[in-house]
Amino acid sequence: MTDTDCVAFLQWALPRLGLRWAGYRKVRRRVCKRIARRMRELGLCEAGRYRERLEADPSEWRALGTLCAIPISRFYRDREVFDALGAEVLPALARGAQHLECWSAGCASGEEPYTLALLWRLQLAPRFPDLGFRVLGTDVDARLLQRARAACYGAGSLAALPAAWRAQAFEQRGRLWCLREGFRARVELLPQDLLAELPDREFDVVLSRNLAFTYFDAEGARRALERIASRLRPGGALVIGVHERLPPPAADFEPWPGCRAIYRCNPRVSTSS
């Protein structure tokens, strides 16, 4: 399948999955390779034949949806964002609080929730020794959560992590770096589809990065924001990807002063979905 064929196929298929082509432009080669492999499994050699298959067999859309999920993540992704969380946002929320609840929605293999747990333990816990700190990581893909539970990563995933943190929190096993048990305790991992289920508690900080506001279509992004807002405490922080924008209307969020990609949640929004 040529790149042109694959682009035409994705531009047809993605909207039918509630996804937007613009989010896939840069990562399309990875998705096209997976689709080509799936076509070979089905004995199909042209994108047009695969499209016919999808039109005839609604169950194939589920398989295609899985092929379109992008699992890329890494520790301390977008350094400035974690720097701001550690220097400004978490201390501001921690002052006067007894515990902080954080949620990483679309947590891939655990890199994001574990980064938050490390940030707390290695940078902030000494200043707030009595404060409880928990992180929930959710993802629609149960296989990624299995990897998150194993908590072993290639060196590339850890490249942005401060070297002292890597030395303290990880032990090397062959070519992998595995998070020591003591650093996993604050992190809970649950399989959840952001558009179908929600955690049963409220949060002080929600990270929704490189998922809804990149890959979902306008309606999906709006619903995702509404659902996230329903689980954010007033005054809490929403963190999005550095290349993302909140979908309109986002009246209940205002930029966290001086922090890129971080918003403060103001009055409670109503939820209808």
Ligand X SMILES: C[S@@+](CC[C@H](N)C(=O)[O-])C[C@H]1O[C@@H](n2cnc3c(N)ncnc32)[C@H](O)[C@@H]1O
Q: Which residues bind ligand X (CB under 6 A)?
A: 69-73, 77, 106, 108, 111-112, 139-141, 144, 193-195, 209-211
Measured distance CA(253)–CA(256) in Å, rounded: 9
Strand order, beta sheet including 152-154: 152-154, 176-179, 170-173
Number of Cβ atoms within 10 Å of the Cβ of 123: 18
Query: Of 131 and 158, which CB lies nearer to ligand X in the complex structure?
Result: 158
Query: Of 42 and 70, which CB lies nearer to ligand X in the complex structure?
Result: 70
Query: Of 139 and 252, which CB lies nearer to ligand X in the complex structure?
Result: 139
Minimum CB separation from ligand X for residue 243, in Å?
11
Query: Of 95 and 149, which CB lies nearer to ligand X in the complex structure?
Result: 149
Segments of the chain assigned E as strands: 99-105, 132-139, 152-154, 170-173, 176-179, 187-191, 203-208, 232-240, 253-255, 262-265
Measured distance CA(125)–CA(221) in Å, rounded: 34
Residue with tokens 């974690």: 82
